[in-house]
């Protein structure tokens, strides 16, 4: 009995501590705690197979996308700097067309206007080739190599992020499957332990069972309940991780800003 009371008090203390921590995480006043109105022990299966889950994770992994984009940007800048030390060839082509029509430059009141009547066109064109080269002591090349190295390092980080996410999903998927089996088995164990405890209680009322048998029955029931709770907790945690690493939310989850009135 004392062991049961001790376990109960420990769980109660954990509940108070965790609800206070949850309130702090979502920005609620320190004097307010959050706790679920009801705790469901039902563990739903994951709605997708492992291959589909991995595909959704890769498609929604914003960290991976950001790292890849940063790596590509650095690589482009590296190539641009490497081109600075190369000779630059250029070609030029220029053309002009001039058309004149009318009396141009004639004196006033002259009979020779026809002499100054001009109607002509003129084409001019030019073309050229050349090259230029800039010397900066190899600074552009060195800076380009530095950016290329940074790009490769970030690319490795992106791959590592994807590998880590894949590992987490596979691990959580397997954990959910295994612990759902544990939940079913421990549920049956709780029922059997409860039946044993009731039988011992009835027999003890008749003066047949001793105290040791009663304590053993209570201990067996306590162990079964704890095992059931651990299995449910592990299953829920695996389910949460699947949502986390697929970067999705359950259908019944709303945006946090709609649940609380932040000032």
Does this model's pTM top 0.75? My answer is: no
pLDDT of res. 107: 65
Closest CA to 164 of 68, 51, 245: 245
Q: For position 169, what pLDDT does the model report? A: 94
List per-residue pLDDT tens for the chain, 263 residues long: 566 677 777 877 877 777 777 666 666 665 555 555 556 778 888 989 999 999 999 888 888 999 999 999 999 988 888 777 777 777 888 888 887 776 666 666 656 566 666 677 788 888 887 776 677 667 887 888 888 999 999 999 999 999 999 999 999 999 999 999 999 999 999 999 988 888 888 877 777 767 777 778 888 888 898 899 899 989 999 998 999 899 887 765 544 444 444 44
> Which pLDDT belongs to residue 263?
41
pLDDT score, position 262? 42
Q: What is the pLDDT of residue 33?
A: 58
Question: How far, in whole angstroms, is CA 205 from its chain's centroid?
Answer: 60
């Amino acid at each position: 009995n004392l062991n049961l009371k001790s376990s109960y008090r420990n769980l109660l203390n954990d509940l108070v501590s965790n609800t206070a921590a949850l309130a702090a995480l979502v920005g609620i006043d320190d004097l307010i705690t959050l706790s679920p109105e009801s705790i469901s022990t039902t563990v739903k299966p994951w709605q997708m197979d492992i291959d589909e889950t991995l595909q959704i994770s890769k498609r929604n992994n914003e960290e991976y996308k950001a790292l890849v984009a940063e790596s590509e940007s650095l690589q482009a800048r590296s190539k641009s700097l490497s081109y600075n030390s190369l000779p630059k060839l250029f070609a030029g082509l220029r053309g002009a067309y001039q058309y004149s029509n009318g009396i141009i430059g004639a004196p006033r009141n002259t009979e020779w206007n026809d002499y100054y009547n001009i109607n002509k066109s003129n084409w001019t064109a030019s073309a050229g080739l050349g090259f230029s080269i800039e010397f900066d002591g190899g600074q552009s090349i060195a800076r380009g190599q530095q950016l290329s190295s940074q790009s490769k390092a970030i690319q490795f980080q992106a791959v590592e992020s994807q590998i880590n996410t894949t590992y987490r999903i596979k691990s959580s998927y397997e954990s959910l499957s295994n612990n759902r089996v544990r939940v079913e088995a421990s549920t049956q164990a709780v029922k059997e332990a409860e039946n044993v405890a009731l039988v011992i209680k009835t027999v003890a009322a008749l003066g047949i069972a001793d105290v040791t048998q009663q304590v053993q029955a209570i201990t067996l029931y306590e162990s079964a309940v704890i095992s059931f709770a651990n299995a449910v907790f592990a299953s829920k945690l695996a389910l949460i991780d699947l949502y986390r690493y697929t970067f999705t939310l359950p259908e019944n989850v709303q945006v946090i800003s709609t649940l609380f009135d932040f000032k």
